[in-house]
Amino acid sequence: MKPVLSRRSFLAAATTAAAVAGSTPVAAAAGGPKCRLNLAIASYSYWHFRDQKVPIEAVMDKAAAMDADAVDILHRQMEIEEKAPLDAAGWAYLRKLKRHALLNGLEICCLSTHQTFVSPNPEVVTKNIDHTQKCIEIAYELGCPCIRINTGRWGTTKDFDELMAHRGIEPILPGHTEEDGFRWCVDGIERCLPKAEQCGVVLALENHWGLARTPEGLLRILESIASPWLGALMDTGNFLEEPYEKLRAIASRTVYVQAKTYPGGGEWYTLDLDYRRIARILADVDYRGYVGLEMEGKEDPETAVPKSVAMLREAFG
């Protein structure tokens, strides 16, 4: 199947049309193009799966105090059971969050979810499809335009700390091949897309551990599925070696950015990322979406998050 039109090609065509119609297209500023910072705060910045959960409402209050534009909600951080069907209390909780965001002048720009499509067991894949469809409905209820999805991984490394010690690389499931994994993943994502289109929620596939750990793997999946309801989520901290050319490789397909920072040293590793350079990469493809801060350092988020916000604002100019 042919890949969908890239963001860069689409926006270039749109800009040309605007010029013909007499509109003023976005012009490159002196010194090169600029990428406007639409800043989101990821709730993950305040909870790294280790201690007591920080309520989403508290994150919204902090984001508003820093004059952020939006919040990125980590699904596992919400006050609902991750895999259970939503009951009346769950739906009421979602409506409460939506109201809280409104009163704080915030958008909810992304719901970061977890799933795996990499399994030889059709029942496991179907359960993850059902879970992802539920997450799409949650995003729709929140007025959220996209959800973060993962390919999932082979599961041969059971401990996440051990996986990080091996730089996110794990052995393929015995008796299977990488081709099997890509086939299962493409099929799983395709089966989620009708619900995504029905709800108007884009699936943002992250360059995460698993089949999308490399730009080649991520792009292989995106180019196998021709749908405007699927794009790339650029996590700036998930290409551990030589990140900039890898980030550039996926930039034109990116619909959402999660920007990692590591004050106090990272929970699993630390990267010294040049965000001015990353801002230029995004500007080169005319990226206009949100940049969601994911502070993954060990420093107290009460100081680390504002520090990271200031750095991103300076880098994006």
pLDDT band per the 50, 70, 90 thresholds, residue 33? low
Q: What average pLDDT score do residues 295-310 get?
A: 98
* More confident of the two residues 169 and 108: 108
| Residues in contact with 304: Cβ distance below 8 Å, sequence separation at least 6, in sequence order | 45, 261, 263, 264, 295, 297
* More confident of the two residues 10 and 199: 199
pLDDT band per the 50, 70, 90 thresholds, residue 31? low
Contact (Cβ atoms closer than 8 angstroms) between residue 205 and residue 235 = no
CA dihedral 8, 271, 307, 278 (to 10 degrees): -20
pLDDT band per the 50, 70, 90 thresholds, residue 8? very low
- Going along the chain from its start, the domains and CATH numbers come out as 7-12+31-316 (3.20.20.150)
State pTM to two decimals: 0.87
Q: Per-residue pLDDT for 85 more than 60?
A: yes
CA distances from 111 to 27, 72, 248, 310 (A): 32, 6, 24, 24
What's the CA gap between 108 and 268, in Å, rounded?
27
pLDDT at 146: 98
pLDDT band per the 50, 70, 90 thresholds, residue 141? very high
pLDDT 10s digits, 226-238: 999 999 999 999 9
